Structure 1
Amino acid sequence: MHRLVEPGQYRAIRYTERLAEAGAVASVGSRGDSYDNALAEAFNSLFKAELVRHRGPWKSIDDLEFAVAEYIDWFNNRRLHSAR
């Protein structure tokens, strides 16, 4: 017997309801437009792989904050980008 609402659908409904309760707007847009979050997701993947999993765990929040600042500086200024 097929369920009327799958667990993933329920979570999506509940998430939408919670956004409305908080007065927040869900991310809008479609793939390929200026609202696409693929770039952010790609960066988050790299960030997790290259910093969080590779160099953690940290002893304190200060150590983590410093590591994040170093990573962002490296990523933006010294990392080899494909455009080079």
Structure 2
Amino acid sequence: MKLTTRLLRAGVHPSMGSVGDSYDNALAENLWILIQTECIRGRTFTTHAEANLALFEYVDGFYNSRRIQKRLGYLSPVEFEEKHYADQATAKRTNLKPRHPALTS
């Protein structure tokens, strides 16, 4: 409660849902399960630095860039961006107005 009050006074809106709303927690738990199954299960780390590096490489090197996403038409963010720029280049060559891939059906 003190944190929420302090955030509101500072003009910051907390991302947490209302009391009894587990939406934010469910998202965090889903990510944690993915990290456990895809990154750390079966591995042994000798130092915290080694574990931190493995987590960074997973999140930044795979999860955020190469993992396919339904909202992107089952493309990874990298593939989606490459397609977007390729579509822009094609549109420019053919004098068509480029459209963002997410807006095409």
Short-chain TM bin:
0.5 to 0.7
- Stretches (4+) displaced over 4 A: none
After superposition, give the CA deviation of every residue in 1:52-80 in whole Å (9 maximum; x if it has no partner): 104x1112211111101101111011111
Rounded Cα–Cα distance in structure 2 between residues aligned with 1:64 and 1:36: 25
Structure 2 unmatched runs, 5+: 5-16, 75-105
Partner of 1:41: 29
Rounded Cα–Cα distance in structure 2 between residues aligned with 1:39 and 1:58: 26
> Displacement, 1:49?
0.8
Identical counterparts, % of pairs: 33
Q: Secondary structure at the match of 1:57?
A: coil
Cα RMSD after superposing both structures: 2.5
Q: Secondary structure at the match of 2:70?
A: coil
Structure of greater Rg: 2
Report the TM-score when normalising by structure 2.
0.45
Indicate whether 1:30 and 2:21 are aligned: yes
Rounded Cα–Cα distance in structure 2 between residues aligned with 1:58 and 1:82: 33
Partner of 1:61: 48
Query: How many aligned positions are there?
Result: 58
Structure 1 unmatched runs, 5+: 1-19
Report the TM-score when normalising by structure 1.
0.54
